[in-house]
A and B are shown apart, each in its own frame.
Chain A
Amino acid sequence: MDVLDIARWQFGITTVYHFLMVPLTIGLGLLVAVMHTLWVRTGRAEWLRMTRFWGRIYLINFVLGVATGLVQEFQFGLAWSAYSRFVGDVFGSVLALEALLAFFLESTFLGLWIFGWGRIPQKLHLAALWAAVVGSIISAYFIIAANSWMQHPVGVVLDTSSGEPRARQVDFLAVLTNNTAVAAFSHAIVASLLVAGSLLVGVGLWHLRRRARAGRPVGEVDHQVWRRSVRLGGWVCVAAFALTAVTGDWQGKLMYHQQPLKMSSAEALCTTEAPASFSLFAFGKLGSNECDDVHSLTIPYVLSFLAHGDFSTAVPGVNELQEQYAQTYGATYPDDESFGDRAGQPIDYAPVLAVTYWGFRLMIGMGLIAALMAAYALWSTRRGRVPISRIGVYGSLFAVATPFIGNAAGWIFTEMGRQPFVVHPNPDVPVADQVYFFTAQAVSPGITVGEVWTSLISLAVVYGLLAVIEFGLILRFARRGITDGDTTPTPGIGGGKNRKSDGDDDGPDDAADASDDVLQFAY
Chain B
Amino acid sequence: MDLQAVWFVAVAVLWTGFLLLEGFDFGVAILLPVLGRTRADRHLMLRTIGPVWDGNEVWLVTAVGAVFAAFPGWYATWLPSMYLPFVIVLLGLIVRAVAFEWRHSSHDPRWDDAWTRIITAGSLVAAAGIGAALGATTLGLPVGANGVRVGGAFSGWSWPALLGAVAVTAYSAVHGAIFLALKTDGDVRLRARAFARRWVLVASIPLLAWAGLVQLRSGTVLTGIIALVAAASAVLAWNRLRIGREGQAFAAWATVLIACAATIFAAAFPVVLPSTIDPAFDVLVGDAAVSTYTLTVMTWVAGFGLPVVIGYQAWTYWVFRRRLVAEPVHAPEPTAA
What residues of chain A have their CB less than 8 Å away from a CB belonging to chain B?
Answer: 59-60, 62-64, 66-68, 70-71, 73-74, 76-79, 81-82, 84-85, 87-93, 95-101, 103-105, 107-112, 114-116, 119-120, 159, 168-170, 172, 444-448, 450-451, 454-455, 458-459, 462, 466, 469-470, 473, 476-477, 480, 483, 504, 506, 508, 511-512, 515-516, 519-520, 522-523
Contact = CB atoms under 8 A, between A and B. Distances in A.
B83 interface: yes
A108 B62 contact: no
B9 to A, nearest CB: 15
A96 B76 CA distance: 15
Contact of A76 (B61, B66, B68, B81): B68
Contacts of A523: 100-105
B51 A508 contact: no
Given A73-B61, A455-B84, 17 more contacts: A59-B101, A67-B93, A68-B94, A71-B94, A76-B75, A79-B80, A84-B75, A88-B76, A89-B291, A92-B72, A100-B302, A111-B51, A444-B80, A466-B98, A469-B102, A522-B104, A523-B100
A60 B100 CA distance: 10
Interface in B29-82: 47, 50-52, 54-55, 57-58, 60-62, 64-66, 68-70, 72-73, 75-81
A88 B68 contact: yes
A50 to B, nearest CB: 19
Nearest to A131: B312
A458 B94 CA distance: 12
B50 A77 contact: no
A98 B72 contact: no
Given A74-B79, A88-B73, A100 B65 contact: yes
B76 A85 contact: yes
A95 B65 contact: yes
A99 B148 CA distance: 28
Contacts of B61: 70, 73, 99, 103
Interface string B302-327: 10011001001100100110100101
A82 B72 contact: no
Contacts of B80: 77-79, 81, 444, 446-447
B97 interface: yes
A71 B90 CA distance: 6
B102 A63 contact: yes
B5 interface: no
Contact of B62 (A99, A458, A520): A99
A351 B177 CA distance: 55
Given A89-B291, A89-B294, A107-B58, A101 B305 contact: yes
A292 B163 CA distance: 61
A93 B69 contact: yes
With most chain B CB atoms within 10 A of its CB, the pick from A100, A101, A454 is: A100
Nearest to B327: A515
Contacts of A119: 319-320
A508 B328 contact: yes
B153 A451 contact: yes
Contacts of B104: 519-520, 522-523
B102 A70 contact: no
A60 B104 CA distance: 10
With most chain B CB atoms within 10 A of its CB, the pick from A76, A91, A110, A111 is: A111
B75 A451 contact: no
Contacts of B62: 96, 99-100, 103-104
Contacts of B302: 97, 100
A169 B294 contact: yes
Interface string B288-307: 00110110011001100110
Contacts of B153: 447-448, 450-451
A363 B201 CA distance: 60
Contacts of A73: 61, 64-65, 68
Nearest to A504: B322
Contacts of A512: 327-328, 330
B48 to A, nearest CB: 11
Contacts of A483: 337
6 contacts: A89-B290, A104-B55, A108-B54, A108-B58, A447-B80, A447-B83
Given A59-B101, A92-B75, A172-B297, A451 B95 contact: no
A81 B68 CA distance: 10
Nearest to A479: B337
Contacts, number: 244
B95 A70 contact: no
A114 B83 CA distance: 35
B54 A81 contact: no
Interface of B: 47, 50-52, 54-55, 57-58, 60-62, 64-66, 68-70, 72-73, 75-81, 83-84, 86-87, 90-91, 93-95, 97-98, 100-105, 146, 148-150, 152-153, 290-291, 293-294, 297-298, 301-302, 305-306, 309, 312-313, 316, 319-320, 322, 325, 327-328, 330, 337
Contacts of A76: 68, 75
Interface of A is mostly: helix
A168 B297 CA distance: 13
A261 B252 CA distance: 62
Contact of B51 (A81, A114, A470): A114
Nearest to B43: A519
B69 A92 contact: yes
Given A78-B80, A458-B87, A473-B102, A506 B327 contact: yes
A93 B298 contact: yes
B87 A96 contact: no
A112 B319 CA distance: 8
Contacts of B291: 89, 159, 168-169
Contacts of A169: 290-291, 293-294, 297
Nearest to A89: B290
Given A77-B75, A85-B72, A459 B91 contact: yes
Contacts of B91: 458-459, 462
With most chain A CB atoms within 10 A of its CB, the pick from B62, B81, B150, B328 is: B62
Contact of A110 (B54, B68, B148): B54
A455 B76 contact: no
B53 to A, nearest CB: 8
Contacts of B101: 59-60, 62-63, 522-523
Contacts of B298: 93, 96-97
B98 A77 contact: no
B98 A64 contact: yes
Nearest to B55: A108
With most chain A CB atoms within 10 A of its CB, the pick from B57, B103, B316 is: B316
A82 B330 CA distance: 56
B98 A81 contact: no
A477 B105 CA distance: 9
B94 A96 contact: no
Contacts of B60: 70
A454 B84 contact: yes
A480 B337 contact: yes
A451 B152 CA distance: 9
A112 B316 contact: yes
B77 A81 contact: yes
A173 B263 CA distance: 37
Given A100-B62, A112-B316, A448-B153, A107 B54 contact: yes
Contact of A93 (B81, B84, B297): B297
B307 to A, nearest CB: 11
Contacts of A100: 62, 65, 301-302, 305-306, 309
Contact of B72 (A60, A84, A104, A451): A84
